[in-house]
């Protein structure tokens, strides 16, 4: 009996889970794998799921899909929109949404497994399906590696992965070399001295300290990075204080940094630290700020030869013009740890999830930025068709390129 | 049987409650009033308590004490330090502390009632004791007025109140005219457009918008207010975002503004609004920021004649030099609504709660700002003696000045 | 033959001179003193002029008037408006204007000398008239002291001075105690590294460094000074760069600081220095900024007893209500060096130069700030009458109070 | 008799002239052209010089060199360092330096003409040498076009130009497509209201307004431009005020903007304008800021076919590896107006002027940014050899590629 991928996708979309909390998602995956006659290994890297399809001699191809949602309040208005909530690591009760399309990734990988099994007479080798948790924390692939995913399952000859994006449905974006940026997530705590809101002179105001720091951090990209180099310094969250009339004792900033390589990482990190410390000093802070690296993602680098093979296979399958070079993305991924750790090539591509007519209208109207919601937006909503079908086919075509 | 004021004080200190949640405090007060043979009217203005001591003909004197604690994590290390928690209006579970000494105010008022009852042969008239909730929200006195406190109890001829402060124990600070500033609490929500932290150009970053606003708001006091005029613009809280790699859709600022009079209020408010709107415009915000006045406190103005009488009575009771002019305080109070609404004079004074030797050492060492914790600090801790005794005596002396 | 004070005033107004360049002004003064039969000692403190009127036994009263103009482009539209230019200390050719009324001060002092001579039968003692240069640099009185003005002329028993201000003509403002703020003038040079405007990453941008410093300096007054204390931190000039496409190597800021006393001075100065150094560090500056104190003015403190005498004399002469307490001024003066150095009392007052009807209309319309030009404005223009007459009378009345 | 190019170069270096003031430079060029037997047309586009070498039938090749120096105080310590001064358009007396190597460009073009004349038997066609003024203002080529340079001299079939840069001597950098950014130079005047430095509340402080604007402008690149797009917003100069204690009435900013194309130009310009206007509004400015576009440079776009020919010619002449793709430069040029106006291809390349060992050491030490002075630096100093020889040869090789 065939999987109902539409029902699977809407079910996953309705029930997103935060990173390392994907227990229901894992159970759904395990259930579908059982329907396919496959054995699910659950709990790999806390909440990950792995299965193996052995089909004679030949290369081992890893197909990876990530599973987690985000603390974003869904505003798509879809009939299957999420109203789920979760508890984030700070203990806050937050809305949760599949705002990055990982539900689509899981659906496509399950569909691809079904197709590969159905056509097992046409290929030989081994497919390992890796359902990875906590990509959004940049921590899931390392958790699986720490849990010995490379030792417990057949070691890959190649790692393949894909991500749904706001390209027109039908279009694949992939390039050799750096496909996605390296990234670090930092937490900065700036220490002032609290007191009554009416007596600022008896305090060291951490709100002003943090605001000045945010403004100064803009100069890293605007003044200190070569304009031709890709770098991003985002302060994604700022929190201080409980009440208008109490000056709090500290402020917390969470930063996301992006760069193309390790040299740039080192430069940007040192500038960020220099600014944070100097702005604390400008406020007369009596305690040094604390800077913690919460996660650190390598650049996602596509192997040149393997990418050329995948690109050619896509063009044969989907026609000329179906593959574009989308440029380097400033977003980051932790998929490459699998390939780095195993010492094998990686190919990671994007596929479009926007209705082509909608996309064309937005391009014509110059409203792409405004009208096409991007990943992590509360309005992010890939069209189900043909996005699901293409997600399935992409994986099958790419995997078959390497399977004997 | 005499009240054990020390036990009462430490009990209240251990069990602070947030504004409009002072139910345990009210029950404790009602219990003590019953011990004194007085009838407590509970639930006045939600959680307030009022009692009346009638003692023949004569003026009606209102004695007011506020009851609520603050969302501050106590760090005094006292044996009776609070470990209480509460749910703030935003639904957050927060630590609670009597960081503003309202426990001392309640204790002193109960002690004063006991003393006045014990000496009722020496005076005639009526004393109304008003235990007011939610002073910290600037909302409690108005809630009691809305609950007809002025109609349900004998209308005052004078309203008296006091506040413990970081003056040396034994010293009273009071001045005719403006004793405490007017104050407004504002909530500002700035609207951007959310998106992925790696794609700032597809967003309107509310963190930067808010940071720029905080920096610009500094110029209201530094550039736009006459240097000789007292004004404060504090951003007591700033909150935006949940995660380093998601640019949120909005940022929230909570502001506390202070000024000596209504003319200054109007000027400062218009400047704050001008800056908030312009900074949203500088970011290209597509939605105007929303600015809400959460509470609005009048200046606390001491009646000249009544203050002269109270000052003279204090000096007779406690000696020359026991009363100082502490200048205008930039803090605010809602006690004056009672007097304003009733159209009668108000006298509101400060009394010291710091060990005199500690205070003298700090003055000598130039470390007052550093070493003497102020109200709302997590280290705020009046010494119990003679602060409790003096709080009791202050009320008795001042009340007796007006009672026949 | 009587001095034509109107002609004198308009002549001085037409020919303002920058500080320490008041050679024409000195010559005009010396000429008028000769007409009065007095001997002018010129060149005292570079361009100052001193004369002595000895008239028998009795106290020595110093009357002081300052002489210099400002680099302000006059926009009054007056028939006697200045079109003068001068070379400032940096070598720039700048417009010059008597934008602070020192022309009025000189005129009034010459008129007062004439009157005192004409009435010499009515008093005895010695009057020393001190025409001081370079008040605007805060350097003139010290230059005269360095040039031994206290040794070369009769030592004062009292020092008197006055300043024309935007009060209504007819009104005198004077208070015992601190009448004007202490002040420091600082030059801050921030060192970056220059380069091409298109390659910011190869530079250390001093324009951004200076701008961040200006914004941070706002927090000294807004956050670090007691709101009840008077303090001002003004960045009066900022200069960096020659061309849009060259990032310069340094930026220069000129600061004017104000405070009521030496304790506040020390605090504010240390905060300013802390911020300047930290902002240089935030930019990664390789060279510490240089901070130079260009001039340092003490607070102008009126002697309590002498001020009471002068005030009483004014009220006798001009009627009740003619003298107001104008509050402390945040402007500064160097007149007090004479009294400090001599160890004698000082009285320094303001007199009004605005047409009373104009002033009343502005008060009624709430447009005082907008419509009444203040000292140093390009529109500053005291009305000639009765400002000149009152300036003369003020000096005569006050001097006579102390002369036998 | 051969030109002494070393003497010519050091003479030009010693005597730099500001844009449109290159009269001595023009005279030197005309003198050398006369030595070569050529006729100099002077005064083309105010101070430009043009000459024509006709040599039979064949294509017309334009060789262009720019002539002007910069207001930079030379700090190279070279024996032939400039001590020249000039009067800039604002009337300031400023130091002048050949800080962008235009002296090298002029020297190389004269040397190339000598060589082409000496080898005229080997080619046929026409060479037009264009010595252009005022490249630094982005105004010289348009001035020559306005002066009908295209009508008065043989119309080009191709335009060639070159620029000395901090690449190792011996290396040529050139790429097809956008070689240098488009650029605009803006002047922004922000209007406040002046007054005394001690009374900020009676003013609208343009220094703070300008500083806030500089800080906010950083967000254009840091937040609003796609991180993968090249854009620069530099505030190259900021000027306000004359004195620490006068708050001035206005502040002037000069901006240099860079982008790869016209679409980006429009976007960045609109964001800059939005921010400038909003920051004026945040200050409560009563007058809108004025924004003037002082000059506007197109992107320098190398023709694909012609660049391929030149690159191949360079590699034949100088060996494999002698030509690199230097990436797009964020600097800008006005050379392309000649080609655009004529509708013909352009090839514009960079050649290295840094001693190769010095460069290699800096690369090894990671100190390129610190140790290798870039164009517009006061330390910019190409080595004379082989930079002069290579500049000559580059032009000859490239010109010969197109000459018959």
What pLDDT, in 10s, does the model give residues A4-29? 999 999 999 999 999 999 999 999 99
D233 membership: H or E segment, kind and range: strand D232-240
- Residue numbers belonging to the annotated binding site of B: 100, 102, 136, 163
Mean pLDDT, residues C284-295: 96
Answer yes or no: is pLDDT of B369 > 80.
no
Q: What is the pLDDT of residue B370?
A: 78
Answer yes or no: is pLDDT of A88 > 70.
yes
Q: Quick one: tokens of A380?
A: 């992010």
Hunting for tokens 């504002």 — which residue is that?
A: B186
Contacts of A219 in chain D (CB under 8 A): 218, 222
Contacts of D378 in chain C (CB under 8 A): 194, 249
In terms of C-beta density within 10 A (0-12 exposed, 13-18 middle, 19 or more buried), how is residue A36 classed? middle
Contacts of A218 in chain D (CB under 8 A): 215, 218-219, 222-223
d(CA D134, CA D142): 10
Answer yes or no: is pLDDT of B1 > 80.
no
User: Count of CB contacts below 8 A, B vs D?
Assistant: 71
Q: What is the pLDDT of residue D180?
A: 94
Q: What is the pLDDT of residue C259?
A: 93
DSSP labels for B37-71?
TPPPEEEETTTEEEEEEEESSS-EEEEEEE---BS
Q: By C-alpha distance, which of C57, C50, C58, C42 is closest to C153?
A: C50
Hunting for tokens 């915000």 — which residue is that?
A: B285
> B182-296 in CATH: which number?
3.30.70.360
What are the boundaries of each domain within chain A? 5-180+299-402, 182-296
Tell whether D13 is in a known binding site: no
Contacts of A227 in chain D (CB under 8 A): 221, 230-232, 258, 330
DSSP B297: E
Are C5-180+299-402 and C182-296 in the same CATH fold? no
Contacts of D198 in chain B (CB under 8 A): 227
C134 membership: H or E segment, kind and range: none
Q: Quick one: tokens of B270?
A: 């218009």
Which of B231, B249, B376 to mutate to probe the A interface, most A CBs <10 Å?
Answer: B376
d(CA D374, CA D382): 10
Q: What is the pLDDT of residue C191?
A: 98
Q: What is the pLDDT of residue C327?
A: 84
Mean pLDDT, residues A140-152: 97
Give C179→chain B minimum CA distance, Å.
Answer: 12
Q: Which regions of D56-109 does DSSP assign to beta strands (E)?
A: 60-66, 85-87, 93-95
Tell whether D100 is in a known binding site: yes
Candidates A94, A202, A331; nearest CB to B198: A331
Percentage of residues of chain A with pLDDT beyond 90? 86
Q: By C-alpha distance, which of B221, A387, A325 is closest to C217?
A: B221
Mean pLDDT, residues B350-375: 89
Window from C15-19, C192-196, C235-239, C290-294 with minimum mean pLDDT: C192-196
Percentage of residues of chain C with pLDDT beyond 90? 86
d(CA B28, CA B204): 52
Torsion-angle region of residue C193: left (phi > 0), alpha (psi -120 to 50) or beta? beta
Chains that touch C (3 or more CB pairs under 8 A): A, B, D
Candidates D223, D277, D282; nearest CB to B200: D223
Strand duo C232-240 + C250-259: pairing: antiparallel
Angstrom distances, CA of residue C22 to CA of A343, B320, C45, C98: 83, 56, 11, 12
Which of B201, B203, B247 to mutate to probe the D interface, most D CBs <10 Å?
Answer: B201
Chains that touch B (3 or more CB pairs under 8 A): A, C, D
In terms of C-beta density within 10 A (0-12 exposed, 13-18 middle, 19 or more buried), how is residue C169 classed? buried
Tell whether C54 is in a known binding site: no
Answer yes or no: is pLDDT of A369 > 80.
no
pLDDT tens digits, D179-235: 999 999 999 999 999 988 999 998 999 999 999 999 999 999 999 999 989 999 999
Phi, then psi, of A390 in degrees rounded to 5 = -65, -35
The strands making up A60-66's β-sheet, listed across from edge to edge, are A41-44, A48-55, A125-132, A60-66, A158-168, A346-354, A172-173, A323-324
Give A214→chain C minimum CA distance, Å.
Answer: 12
Which of B200, B238, B371 to mutate to probe the A interface, most A CBs <10 Å?
Answer: B238
Query: What is the CB-side half-sphere exposure of residue B160 using CA atoms within 13 A?
Result: 29
In terms of C-beta density within 10 A (0-12 exposed, 13-18 middle, 19 or more buried), how is residue D89 classed? exposed
Answer yes or no: is pLDDT of C1 > 70.
no
Strand duo C172-173 + C346-354: pairing: antiparallel
Q: By C-alpha distance, which of B60, B55, B67, B72 is closest to B22?
A: B67
ipTM of the predicted assembly exceeds 0.85: no
d(CA D9, CA D31): 14
Query: What is the CB-side half-sphere exposure of residue D15 using CA atoms within 13 A?
Result: 16
pLDDT grade for A1, boundaries at 50, 70 and 90: low
Phi, then psi, of D103 in degrees rounded to 5 = -60, -40
How many other CB atoms are found less than 10 A from the CB of residue D177? 12
How many other CB atoms are found less than 10 A from the CB of residue C1? 5
Stated pTM of the model: 0.82
Q: What is the pLDDT of residue D330?
A: 85
Q: Enumerate residues 6+ apart whose C-beta is below 8 A from D219.
A: A218, A222, B205, B208, B212, B283, D275
d(CA D256, CA D254): 7
How many other CB atoms are found less than 10 A from the CB of residue B321? 9
d(CA D216, CA D230): 19
Q: Quick one: tokens of C67?
A: 């002489």
Chain mean pLDDT for chain D: 95
Instruction: Determine the length of chain D.
Output: 404
Mean pLDDT, residues A79-100: 94
Residues of A with CB under 8 A from a CB of C: 198-201, 203, 205, 208, 212, 215-216, 219, 222-227, 271, 274-275, 277-279, 281-284
Cα D308 from chain centroid (whole Å)? 24
Chain mean pLDDT for chain C: 95
d(CA A289, CA A240): 14
Q: What is the pLDDT of residue C162?
A: 98
pLDDT tens digits, B337-348: 999 999 999 999
DSSP A181: -
Say if the Cβ atoms of D281 and B283 lie within 8 Å.
no
pLDDT tens digits, C119-158: 999 999 999 999 999 999 889 999 999 999 999 999 999 9
pLDDT grade for B261, boundaries at 50, 70 and 90: confident
Bridge partners for A231 per DSSP: none
Q: By C-alpha distance, which of A358, A381, A392 is closest to A168?
A: A358
d(CA B227, CA C340): 26
3-state class (DSSP) for residue A38: coil
Candidates C195, C236, C378; nearest CB to D377: C195
Contacts of B275 in chain D (CB under 8 A): 282
CB B17 within 8 A of CB B137: no
Bridge partners for A258 per DSSP: A183, A232
Q: What residue in C sits closest to D246 (Cα-Cα)?
A: C236
Say if the Cβ atoms of B278 and D278 lie within 8 Å.
yes
Helices of type H across C247-289? 262-282
pLDDT grade for D51, boundaries at 50, 70 and 90: very high
Q: By C-alpha distance, which of B197, B221, B217, B220 is closest to B209?
A: B217
pLDDT tens digits, B198-211: 999 989 999 999 99
Helices of type H across A119-176? 140-146, 149-152
Mean pLDDT, residues D235-246: 94
Q: What residue in C sits closest to D241 (Cα-Cα)?
A: C237
Residues of A with CB under 8 A from a CB of D: 215, 218-223, 227-228, 230-233, 258, 327-328, 330
Q: Quick one: tokens of D282?
A: 């945040």
CB A169 within 8 A of CB A390: yes
pLDDT tens digits, B172-181: 999 999 999 9
d(CA C208, CA C217): 14
Torsion angle of the four alpha carbons D277, D282, D285, D289, in this order, in degrees rounded to the nearest 10: -20
Q: What residue in A sits closest to C200 (Cα-Cα)?
A: A223
Candidates D215, D218, D232; nearest CB to A227: D232
pLDDT grade for C376, boundaries at 50, 70 and 90: confident
Residues of D with CB under 8 A from a CB of B: 198-201, 203, 205, 208, 212, 215-216, 219, 222-227, 271, 274-275, 277-279, 281-284
Chain mean pLDDT for chain A: 95
Say if the Cβ atoms of A227 and D228 lie within 8 Å.
no
Q: What is the pLDDT of residue B40?
A: 95
Strand duo D158-168 + D195-196: pairing: unpaired
Phi, then psi, of B164 in degrees rounded to 5 = -80, 140
Angstrom distances, CA of residue B160 to CA of B130, B399, B400, C138, D382: 10, 8, 11, 51, 83
Q: By C-alpha distance, which of D240, D237, D239, D238 is closest to D194?
A: D240
CB D252 within 8 A of CB D239: yes
Contacts of B228 in chain C (CB under 8 A): 230, 327-328, 330
Looking at CATH, the fold of the domain delimited by D5-180+299-402 is given as Aminopeptidase (3.40.630)
Q: From the CA atom positions of chain C, what is the Rg in Å?
A: 23
Phi, then psi, of D296 in degrees rounded to 5 = -145, 115
pLDDT grade for D331, boundaries at 50, 70 and 90: confident
3-state class (DSSP) for residue C55: strand
Q: What is the pLDDT of residue C33?
A: 98
Buried b (16+ CB within 10 A) or exposed e, A286-311: eeebebeebbbbbbbbbbeebbebbb
Answer yes or no: is pLDDT of C371 > 90.
no
Say if the Cβ atoms of D278 and B274 lie within 8 Å.
no
d(CA B301, CA B328): 10
């Amino acid at each position: 009996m065939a999987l109902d991928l539409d029902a699977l996708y809407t079910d996953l979309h309705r029930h997103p889970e935060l990173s390392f909390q994907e227990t229901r998602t894992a159970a759904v995956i395990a259930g579908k794998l059982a329907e396919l006659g496959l054995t699910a290994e659950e709990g790999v890297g806390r909440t990950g799921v792995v299965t193996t399809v052995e089909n004679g001699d030949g290369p081992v191809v890893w197909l990876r899909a990530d599973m987690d949602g985000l603390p974003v309040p869904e505003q798509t208005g879809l009939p299957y929109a999420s109203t789920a909530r979760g508890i984030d690591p700070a203990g806050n009760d937050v809305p949760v949404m599949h705002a990055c399309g990982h539900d689509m990734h899981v659906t496509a990988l399950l569909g691809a497994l079904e197709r590969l099994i159905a056509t097992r007479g046409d290929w030989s080798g081994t497919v390992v399906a890796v359902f990875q948790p906590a990509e959004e924390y940049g921590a899931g692939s390392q958790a699986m590696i720490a849990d010995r995913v490379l030792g417990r399952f057949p070691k890959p000859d190649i790692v393949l992965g894909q991500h749904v994006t706001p390209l027109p449905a039908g279009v694949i974006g992939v390039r050799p070399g750096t496909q996605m940026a390296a990234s670090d997530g930092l937490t900065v705590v700036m220490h002032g001295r609290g007191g009554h809101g009416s007596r600022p002179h008896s305090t060291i105001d951490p709100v002003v300290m943090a605001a000045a720091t945010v403004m100064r951090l803009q100069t890293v990209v605007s003044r200190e990075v070569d304009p031709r180099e890709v770098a991003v310094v985002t302060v994604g969250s700022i929190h201080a204080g409980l009440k208008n009339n109490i000056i709090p004792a500290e402020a917390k900033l969470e930063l996301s940094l992006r760069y193309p390589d390790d040299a740039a990482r080192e430069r940007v990190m040192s500038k960020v630290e220099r600014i944070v410390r100097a702005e604390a000093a400008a406020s007369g802070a009596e305690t040094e700020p604390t800077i913690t690296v919460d996660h650190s993602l390598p650049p996602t680098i596509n192997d040149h030869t393997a990418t050329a093979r995948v690109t050619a296979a896509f063009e044969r399958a989907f026609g000329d013009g179906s593959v574009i070079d989308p440029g380097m993305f400033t977003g980051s991924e932790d998929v490459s740890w699998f390939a780095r750790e195993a010492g094998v090539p990686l190919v990671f591509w994007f596929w479009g999830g926007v209705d082509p007519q909608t996309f064309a209208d937005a391009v014509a109207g110059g409203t792409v930025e405004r009208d096409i919601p991007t990943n992590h937006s509360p309005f992010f909503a890939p069209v189900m068709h043909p996005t699901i079908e293409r997600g399935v086919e992409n994986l099958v075509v790419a995997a078959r390129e390497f399977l004997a």
